Structure 1
Amino acid sequence: MDNKEKLEMKDGKHLISNIQAQYARLSKGQKIIAQYILKNYDKVAFMTACKLGEAVGVSESTVVRFANALGYSGYPKLQEALQELIKNKLTTVQRVEMAHDQYSDDSTILNKVLKSDIDNIRDTLDAIDENAFKGAADKILKARKIYILGMRSSFTIAQYLGFYLDIILDNVHIIRMDMGDAFEQVVRVNEDDVLITISFPRYSRKSYQVAKYAKSKGAHIISITDSMFAPVASISDNTLLVKSNMASFVDSLVPALSVANALVISVGMKEKEDIKEYFDDLETIWKEYSVYE
């Protein structure tokens, strides 16, 4: 991520105050856009430049110049900043309402959701920090114990990642809410351990609290999340950024699953001789007890 992209992300966190500060020097048409965004930023986050222009009665080029006037390289970057602003503030009801106009029938839903997942994976591949990924895989391999944490829908990724890492390694613990309080499960964490936290909007407060506790005990924190503004990213040693643009009330976890796959394979390739021996034993058990047809 270059300096301009970092600046655009930072601006996204203070977008409303930035619009207010720049308002006096905007053109008449740009002021109309600014007023509309200040009142309807949750809707504008998912409107194209053309749609926004139609909504306020200005040209698409005026919308693009408005984005430039705020310091963005183009309208898509302004739109990303708006999405960054709202993603943790929208209620589930608001998400459903926003999606009503986007998904008109089953064919449209199938097409848009799958294309969105493809775009999310492509954007993740383009933006992910390869050094952070390599560092995460190395730390997992060397850890005394690996804790994996994901709350609510993120637990699906945590469970998947934990299942396959447990095949490779024998020191994996998935933090489960049905196995007692999360803090009780990490109370013995220390500087030789790794905590992998999966966190997506709406960010779980408890995920951050558990990660912060583990950090205070010296554990290495790896986060799989969608933004450097995610609470857990601020305390992570390795942050693996995953695009997770919203599809109605459902977050796209497909790229997170792909990154989890990549982590498993990266660790596995470093332990392939042990894995082969382990699978030889499993094949014997599966055959003896007729596990598979």
Structure 2
Amino acid sequence: MDKREVDRLIEEQYPNLPPILQRAARYAIDNPKAIALNSMRSVAAEAGLQASAMHRLARQLGFDGYDAMREVYRTWLAEGTGSFAARASELQKRGAHDQAESLLAELVQAEFRNLQGLLEPGTQRAIAGARDVLAQARHIYVVGLRSLMPAAFYFNYACGMFLQNTTLLSGIGGTFADDLRRAGKEDALLVFSYAPYARDAVSAVRFAHAQGVRVVSVTDSAVSPIAAPATALVLLANATPSLFPSVVPALAVAQALAALLVAGGGKDSLRAIARSEAQLREFSVYHQDARS
């Protein structure tokens, strides 16, 4: 079990927990670093609870006790929540000790675990739900800022082959939010955002939600600031020893959503793709090898 799964369990069970355990669960959601770093007694005191409440919460979530739950938070803290400078420093330490091969292995193994999460039934249902929202939209606005720009760009680029209703909010010339002025209840906003959450991405979600736009959020936590307003929520693991949280699972979701939209697009999509290919040939976009 990883922290994302713990967050999901808390979210699912929270409404039915007794008040004491709700307070403990709320503290765990709001203060994950404290759980990772502090003893059960210290955490309980900070939360204004008896130590037994944290133990009971851990048992409620399927752990043998608090220490087992705490280990999940420790792993989460070690893998993904340090500052960029701290993560870079750790990478350089490993480089100085000639650990390139072991680091590469860890990077690949982390991505393998991240992508395995996409095969979980709940995640597959979430991706299918996201596809349904996007397929029904009059217009799709797409956001992915900073390190997650590749996921947003890919989705917009791929959909441009067979759809004419997508807009990438890129922020060129300082115009990031301008296209959202036209967004309304028949539209959808697809947003990719991880901690630390880009301010403009969060603002776009809040604005779009207030306008009645259906939001599809691809993010890393059930308590992400873009999670609550979402019509469809896809939660991803993104742990990696690298500098930034992994972009690989977000790219995988972008590819999956584009593929699912093609799969359900019927003959209209096929005709649009044929026209797009003809236009690309007209402009000689791709290099053609001479064949004898």
Shorter-chain TM-score: which interval?
A: 0.7 to 0.9
Deviations 1:99-142 (A, max 9, x none): 45566422122211111111111123226433332221111111
- Determine helix, strand or coil for the equivalent of 2:205: helix
Q: Give the match for residue 119 of structure 1.
A: 113
Are the aligned partners of 1:148 and 1:174 in contact in 2 as well (CA < 8 Å)?
yes
Pair 1:95 & 2:87 matched: yes
- Determine helix, strand or coil for the equivalent of 2:218: strand
* CA spacing shift, 1:86–1:272, aligned 2, 3 Å: same
CA distance in 2 between partners of 1:90 and 1:115 (Å): 20
Partner amino acid, structure 2, of 1:71: A
Partner amino acid, structure 2, of 1:92: F
Pair 1:250 & 2:244 matched: yes
- Determine helix, strand or coil for the equivalent of 1:112: helix
Q: Which runs of 5+ in 2 are unaligned?
A: 14-23, 47-53
Q: TM-score scaled to structure 2, two decimals?
A: 0.74
Are the aligned partners of 2:29 and 2:223 in contact in 1 as well (CA < 8 Å)?
no
- Determine helix, strand or coil for the equivalent of 1:202: coil
Deviation at 1:189, TM superposition (A): 1.2
CA distance in 1 between partners of 2:165 and 2:150 (Å): 20
Deviations 1:40-61 (A, max 9, x none): xxxxxxxxxxxxxxxxxxxxxx
After TM superposition, the structure 1 = structure 2 runs for residues 141-290 of structure 1, keeping only pairs within 5 Å, are: 141-290=135-284
Are the aligned partners of 1:12 and 1:82 in contact in 2 as well (CA < 8 Å)?
no
Are the aligned partners of 1:88 and 1:202 in contact in 2 as well (CA < 8 Å)?
no
CA distance in 1 between partners of 2:198 and 2:141 (Å): 17
CA distance in 1 between partners of 2:241 and 2:37 (Å): 27
Partner amino acid, structure 2, of 1:139: V
- Determine helix, strand or coil for the equivalent of 1:239: strand
* CA spacing shift, 1:178–1:210, aligned 2, 3 Å: same
Moved more, 139-148 or 182-191: 182-191
Deviation at 1:276, TM superposition (A): 1.9
Which of 9, 13, 19 is the equivalent residue of 2:30? 13
CA distance in 1 between partners of 2:55 and 2:147 (Å): 37
Deviation at 1:285, TM superposition (A): 3.4
Deviation at 1:12, TM superposition (A): 4.5
CA distance in 2 between partners of 1:229 and 1:102 (Å): 33
* CA spacing shift, 1:79–1:246, aligned 2, 3 Å: farther
Partner amino acid, structure 2, of 1:140: L
CA distance in 1 between partners of 2:6 and 2:100 (Å): 39
Deviations 1:175-226 (A, max 9, x none): 0121433222211211111001100121112211111001000000101111
Deviation at 1:266, TM superposition (A): 1.1
Deviation at 1:71, TM superposition (A): 1.7
CA distance in 2 between partners of 1:147 and 1:91 (Å): 30
Among all aligned residue pairs of Structure 1 and Structure 2, give the percentage whose two residues are the same amino acid.
Answer: 21
Are the aligned partners of 1:12 and 1:81 in contact in 2 as well (CA < 8 Å)?
no
Partner amino acid, structure 1, of 2:83: T
Are the aligned partners of 1:224 and 1:240 in contact in 2 as well (CA < 8 Å)?
yes
Which of 34, 54, 58 is the equivalent residue of 1:71? 58
Q: TM-score scaled to structure 1, two decimals?
A: 0.74
Deviation at 1:96, TM superposition (A): 2.0
Moved more, 6-15 or 199-208: 6-15
Are the aligned partners of 1:95 and 1:248 in contact in 2 as well (CA < 8 Å)?
yes
CA distance in 2 between partners of 1:276 and 1:169 (Å): 10
CA distance in 2 between partners of 1:236 and 1:243 (Å): 18
Q: Give the match for residue 21 of structure 2.
A: none
CA distance in 1 between partners of 2:264 and 2:217 (Å): 21
Q: How many pairs align?
A: 253
- Determine helix, strand or coil for the equivalent of 1:182: coil
Pair 1:23 & 2:10 matched: no
Q: Which runs of 5+ in 1 are unaligned?
A: 25-33, 39-66
CA distance in 1 between partners of 2:90 and 2:191 (Å): 29
Partner amino acid, structure 1, of 2:84: T
Are the aligned partners of 1:19 and 1:70 in contact in 2 as well (CA < 8 Å)?
no
* CA spacing shift, 1:131–1:246, aligned 2, 3 Å: same
Are the aligned partners of 2:147 and 2:244 in contact in 1 as well (CA < 8 Å)?
no
